[in-house]
Chain A
Amino acid sequence: MPLTLSELAEDQAHDAGQPYLWTMNFGPQHPATHTTLRLLLKLDGERVADAIPDIGFLHSGFEKLGESLDFNQYVTVTDRMNYISPMSNNVAWHMAVEKLLGVEVTPRCKYIRTIVCELMRLSDHLLCLGAMGLDLGAFTHFIYAFNPRETIYDIAEALCGARFTNSYTRVGGVMRDITPQVVQMIRDFLAEMPPVMDDMDRLMGKNRIFVDRLQGVGVLTREEAINRSCSGPIARASGVTRDLRRDEPYLSYSDFDFQVCCAREGDCLARYRVRMAEMQESVKILQQAVENIPPGPVNVGPERRSILPPPGKVWTTIEGLISHFELVMPNRGMPVPNEEVYCATEAPNGELGFYVVGDGSPRAYRARCRPPSFIHFALFPHLIRGHTLSDIVAVLGSLNIIAAELDR
Chain B
Amino acid sequence: MPIAETFAALRAVFGDLPTSEFRGATRVVVPAERIYEVLEFLKGKHGFDLLVDITCVDYLNYPGAKDRFGLVYLLADTDANQRLTIRTFVNEPEPVVRSVVGLWDGANWLEREVWDMFGIRFAGHPDLRRILLPDEFTAFPLRKDYPLQGLGERHNFPVLTRGKS
Q: What residues make up the interface of A, taking CB atoms closer than 8 Å to B?
A: 1-2, 4-7, 55-56, 59, 61, 63-65, 67-68, 99-100, 102, 224, 226-231, 240, 242, 247-248, 338-342, 344, 351, 353, 355, 357, 359-360, 365-366, 368, 370, 374-375, 377-378, 382, 407-408
Interface bracket on B: 35 or more
For A378, what are the chain B residues with a Cβ–Cβ distance below 8 Å?
A: 106, 108-109
Task: Report which of A240, A248, A357 forms a contact with B57, defined as CB distance below 8 A.
Answer: A357
Beta-carbon contact of A338 and B165 below 8 Å = no
B9: Cβ under 8 A from any A Cβ: no
Q: What residues make up the interface of B, taking CB atoms closer than 8 Å to A?
A: 22-23, 25, 49-53, 55, 57-58, 62-64, 72, 74, 78, 81, 83, 85, 104-110, 113, 117, 127, 129-135, 141-142, 146, 148, 160, 164-165
For A344, what are the chain B residues with a Cβ–Cβ distance below 8 Å?
A: 52
When chains A and B are docked, how far (Å) is the Cα of A56 from the Cα of B133? Answer: 6
Residue in A closest to B103 when the chains form the complex, CB atoms? A227
Task: Report which of A59, A229, A368 forms a contact with B50, defined as CB distance below 8 A.
Answer: A229
When chains A and B are docked, how far (Å) is the Cα of A228 from the Cα of B131? Answer: 17
A228 with B165, Cβ < 8 A, contacts A55-B132, A341-B23 known: no
Residue in A closest to B81 when the chains form the complex, CB atoms? A247
Query: A61 to nearest B CB, angstroms?
Result: 7
User: Can you offer 12 A-B residue contacts whose CB atoms are under 8 A?
Assistant: A7-B127, A56-B131, A63-B117, A224-B105, A248-B81, A340-B22, A341-B25, A360-B63, A365-B57, A378-B108, A407-B132, A408-B132
When chains A and B are docked, how far (Å) is the Cα of A78 from the Cα of B148? Answer: 18
Beta-carbon contact of A368 and B22 below 8 Å = no
Beta-carbon contact of A368 and B55 below 8 Å = yes
Secondary structure call for the B interface: loop
A342 with B74, Cβ < 8 A, contacts A56-B133, A229-B51 known: yes
Beta-carbon contact of A102 and B106 below 8 Å = no
Which of B53, B72, B142: most chain A CB closer than 10 A? B53
For A67, what are the chain B residues with a Cβ–Cβ distance below 8 Å?
A: 148
Residue in B closest to A246 when the chains form the complex, CB atoms? B81
Query: A6 to nearest B CB, angstroms?
Result: 7
Beta-carbon contact of B78 and A240 below 8 Å = yes
A1 with B142, Cβ < 8 A, contacts A56-B133, A338-B64 known: no
Beta-carbon contact of A359 and B127 below 8 Å = no
Beta-carbon contact of B104 and A68 below 8 Å = no
When chains A and B are docked, how far (Å) is the Cα of A228 from the Cα of B53? Answer: 11
Beta-carbon contact of A374 and B109 below 8 Å = yes
Beta-carbon contact of B110 and A355 below 8 Å = no
For B25, what are the chain A residues with a Cβ–Cβ distance below 8 Å?
A: 341-342
For A4, what are the chain B residues with a Cβ–Cβ distance below 8 Å?
A: 135
When chains A and B are docked, how far (Å) is the Cα of A375 from the Cα of B130? Answer: 16
Given contacts A55-B132, A339-B23, 13 further A-B contacts (CB under 8 A): A61-B141, A64-B142, A242-B81, A341-B23, A355-B55, A365-B62, A368-B53, A368-B55, A368-B57, A370-B55, A375-B109, A378-B106, A407-B132
Task: Report which of B83, B106, B131 forms a contact with A227, defined as CB distance below 8 A.
Answer: B106
When chains A and B are docked, how far (Å) is the Cα of A341 from the Cα of B22? Answer: 8
For B164, what are the chain A residues with a Cβ–Cβ distance below 8 Å?
A: 2
Query: A160 to nearest B CB, angstroms?
Result: 28
When chains A and B are docked, how far (Å) is the Cα of A351 from the Cα of B72? Answer: 17
Query: B37 to nearest A CB, angstroms?
Result: 19
When chains A and B are docked, how far (Å) is the Cα of A55 from the Cα of B165? Answer: 19
When chains A and B are docked, how far (Å) is the Cα of A360 from the Cα of B61? Answer: 13
Residue in A closest to B160 when the chains form the complex, CB atoms? A2
Residue in A closest to B147 when the chains form the complex, CB atoms? A64
Beta-carbon contact of B78 and A226 below 8 Å = yes
When chains A and B are docked, how far (Å) is the Cα of A370 from the Cα of B72? Answer: 12
Query: A40 to nearest B CB, angstroms?
Result: 13
For A370, what are the chain B residues with a Cβ–Cβ distance below 8 Å?
A: 52-53, 55, 74
A228 with B81, Cβ < 8 A, contacts A365-B57, A368-B55, A375-B110 known: no
Beta-carbon contact of A342 and B49 below 8 Å = no
Beta-carbon contact of B106 and A228 below 8 Å = yes
For B52, what are the chain A residues with a Cβ–Cβ distance below 8 Å?
A: 229, 231, 342, 344, 351, 353, 370
Would you list the 8 A-B pairs with minimal beta carbon distance, nearest first? A229-B106, A56-B132, A378-B109, A228-B106, A59-B132, A370-B53, A368-B55, A366-B57
